[in-house]
Amino acid sequence: MGRGNPLVAMIPSYLLGVGISLLMTLDFWRSGESGPPAHAMFLYAIVSTAVGYVLCPFRTSVLSSPLLAIFAWSSGMAISVIAFWLVLPVTFPLPLVAWLGLAIGLMQTTLHLWTHVIGRRFSRAPAGVLIAALTILCASSPVWLSPWLEWSGEHSPLMNLALAMSPPTYFAVMLDYDYLRSPWFYKHTAYAMHRYEYPSSGLVTFVYGFLCLIAAWIDRRCEKNMPNEPFGRLQHDT
């Protein structure tokens, strides 16, 4: 019973998100400091996205369609942000939590879709490593571009480009949180001395949504070329 039910397929990712929530809350409790609420939610988004990407169990999915399995897993991770919000020791606006859930779900969907599409040509393991490497490279762009920002002027397009290409920026704009002013970035980067602009939440959502549509279109074309492999290489390759 429940075989092929998307709601059942969402349960593992939701429980994973709940586990992450409890572990992060315990860490905040032991350290006695969680920082501003937006910072805690921002950290949760990054951790849940990374862990959710690595631990996604497509091999044991109850769904026959890879796209549906991806959507179910991503939806579970998105909804699990409510669990972290409930156990967070400070208050935080629910609308921003909902927007963050959308960002987490869309980010998960984007990463898994492109891993699946590239995995059709090669296999899931190399595809996963490639997508993870590209994501880490883009996510860390505000850090490794920081030395060039010191001589690029008070307001440089390079700054805005580094922000726009970094996935954590999507979480930040959904939370209305300036993460470049957080203590770590203030200490290790030059952003505090310069002017910069975050991209709009609508624009970033459109970009990630467009990437999902392109990946789904490519996958549909592959389905026509491989009609006898409904799950592509995602299910049986390593």
pLDDT for position 18: 86
Confidence of residue 236 (pLDDT cuts 50, 70, 90): very low
**What tokens were used for 105?**
């779900």
Rounded distance between C-alpha atoms, residue 90 and residue 25, angstroms: 11
**Is position 231 within any domain?**
no
**Is position 102 within any domain?**
yes
pTM listed for this prediction: 0.84
**Is position 117 within any domain?**
yes
For 124-161, the pLDDT digits (tens) are: 788 999 999 999 999 988 888 777 766 665 566 777 88
Domains identified in the chain, total number: 1
pLDDT for position 232: 41
**Is position 72 within any domain?**
yes
**Is position 124 within any domain?**
yes
Query: What range defines the domain where residue 196 resides?
Result: 6-225
Alpha helices in 55-197 (DSSP H): 66-79, 81-87, 94-121, 124-139, 141-144, 146-149, 157-164, 167-175, 183-188
For 102-133, the pLDDT digits (tens) are: 999 999 999 999 999 998 887 778 899 999 99
**Is position 1 within any domain?**
no
